[in-house]
A and B are shown apart, each in its own frame.
Chain A
Amino acid sequence: MKKSLIALAVAGAMTAPIVAQADATLYGSFRVGLVSQQDEDLDLRDESTRIGIKGDVDLGLENTKGLFHWEANLDTTDNDAGVVNTDGTKSGKMFSERLAYIGATGNWGTALVGRQYHPHYTMVASHTNIFNSADKEFGEAFILGNNVDGNGYHHKRNDNTLAYASPIMAGFQVVAGAVIAGGNDDSQDDVDGYNVAAQYTGVEGLRVSASYAATEEDGVLGFDQDLWGVGATYKLSALTVAARYEDREIDAAGVTTDERDAWELAAAYQMGATALKARFGDLDIATADVDGEQWGLEVEQKLGNKGRVWVGYTDIDEEVATALNVAEDTLVLGYRLDF
Chain B
Amino acid sequence: MLPSILRSGVLATSVAAALICVPAQAYAEQDPWEGFNRSVFSFNETIDRYALKPAAQGYRYVTPDIAEQGVSNFFDNIADVGNVFNNLFQLKFDAAGKSFSRVAFNSTFGLVGLIDVATPMGIGPHNEDFGQTLGYWGVGSGPYIVLPFFGPSTVRDGLSKPADWAMDPISEVGHVATRNSLYGLRLLDVRARLLQAEQIISGDKYSFTRDAYLQRREYLINDGVVDVQYDSDF
Residues in chain A within 8 A of chain B (CB atoms) = 269, 271-274, 276, 299, 301, 303, 309, 311, 331, 333
Contact = CB atoms under 8 A, between A and B. Distances in A.
Contacts of B122: 272-274, 301, 303
9 contacts: A271-B94, A273-B122, A274-B97, A274-B123, A276-B101, A301-B121, A301-B123, A309-B109, A333-B109
A271 B97 contact: yes
A contact face: mostly helix, strand, loop, or mixed? strand
Contacts, number: 38
Contacts of B94: 271
B93 interface: yes
Nearest to B94: A271
Residue among A271, A272, A299, A311 facing the most chain B CB atoms (10 A cut-off):
A299
Contact of B98 (A274, A303, A311, A331): A274
* Size class of the contact patch on chain B: 10 to 19
Contacts of B97: 269, 271, 274, 276
B85 interface: no
Contacts of A309: 105, 109, 121
Query: Chain B interface secondary structure, helix, strand, loop or mixed?
Result: helix
Interface string B87-113: 000000110011011001100110000
A271 B98 contact: yes
B194 to A, nearest CB: 31
A136 B223 CA distance: 43
Given A269-B97, A274-B97, A274-B98, A311 B121 contact: no
B123 to A, nearest CB: 6
A296 to B, nearest CB: 13
A259 B130 CA distance: 51
A267 to B, nearest CB: 12
Contact of B101 (A274, A303, A333): A274
Contacts of B123: 274, 301
A309 B121 CA distance: 10
B100 A299 contact: yes
A294 to B, nearest CB: 19
Contacts of A333: 108-109
Most B C-beta atoms less than 10 A away, residue of A272, A303, A331: A272
Given A269-B93, A276-B97, A299 B121 contact: no
Contact of B104 (A271, A272, A299): A299
